[in-house]
Amino acid sequence: MGKVLVTGGSGFIGSHCILQLLAAGHEVRTTVRSPQREAAVRAMLRQGGAEPGERLSFAVADLERDAGWPEAVAGCDHVLHVASPFPPTLPKHEDELIVPAREGALRVLRAACDAGVRRVVLTSSFAAVGYGHPPQAAAFDETGWTDPAGVDVQPYAKSKTLAERAAWDFIAREGGALELSVVNPVGVFGPVLGPDYSTSILLVQRLLDGAMPGCPKLSFGVVDVRDVADLHLRAMTDPAAKGERFLAVAGDFMSIHDIATVLKRRLGTSARKVPTLQLPNWLVRLAALRDPAVKQILPELGKRKNATGAKAQRMLGWLPRSAEEAVVATAESLAKLGLLKA
């Protein structure tokens, strides 16, 4: 088993990737932005049932700086580039997201290329696939690309699209023997290992805490973080994954109302504060005037999209859990860690 670098090991997806790499017998190095984050990462891994000891090492590196990346990739056979900024609110300027996402991906690829790494698996997103298009009945697949110049394309979707495009361009132009595979997850749910989790988890937390008066008419794909990590490992090791991108999605897209209904049905009294009232779009637009987090969802209100994970299932034997299971695992882990209001 070789050594694998995971960028952004303190993140939701990154920590689950580390867990599965360790379980598969790999030695892992992970990047953090400051040495103080090491204790938090080890605590998350313990929560996930792992005590890596010396099999896990740390490197300090930042997506916005060159320093540290050559040392981070030294001696690694593979790199999982998971780290990317995803704030819960809109940035003041889109470049706050675009520049670190694109330049960070190129820093990692350059360092990997120079160090003789075999393959990089880049965590992109459905955000790089399904936005900026007129409505379509067909499910999105890996041939789709978000149009960064499209109407209502948000800075996050733009950043993921431009970062992934830049990565493929780098491989084509100057990648040499370096191989690239890309994973494009939809909304990532599942077991939380600590207080540092993704924006999609925040939705379940807010529903359970009763912080939302009702359900906006918003739909998105759902996938369990454990299955996203599993797909990263498959994309890292399977020869068929070279030069391919893979959508990570479990079944049809769900609405917020669907998620609320699942929580009510599966969690009983624990979900007593979960709202099931559907909010009219005009009311959500009104709320967005005061809440920047709500403003982000306005362009997607009332839109129905779908995507298929058939390619990953067919080519790599990937078998994700159901979307319902992912949602329930999210809620149960939030309760277990005491991250819900009493």
Residues assigned a catalytic role: 160
DSSP states along 108-136: HHHHHHHTT-SEEEEE--GGGTSSSS---
Residue from 56, 170, 50 nearest 104 by CA: 170
Question: DSSP label at 97?
Answer: H
How are strands ordered across the β-sheet holding 119-123?
Answer: 56-60, 27-32, 3-7, 78-81, 119-123, 179-185, 245-248
Question: DSSP label at 137?
Answer: S
157/86 Cα distance (integer angstroms):
10
Question: DSSP label at 241?
Answer: G
32/38 Cα distance (integer angstroms):
7
φ and ψ at 87, to 5 degrees? -75, 155
181/171 Cα distance (integer angstroms):
10
Please answer whether residues 78 and 27 qualify as being in contact, where contact means their C-beta atoms are separated by less than 8 angstroms: no
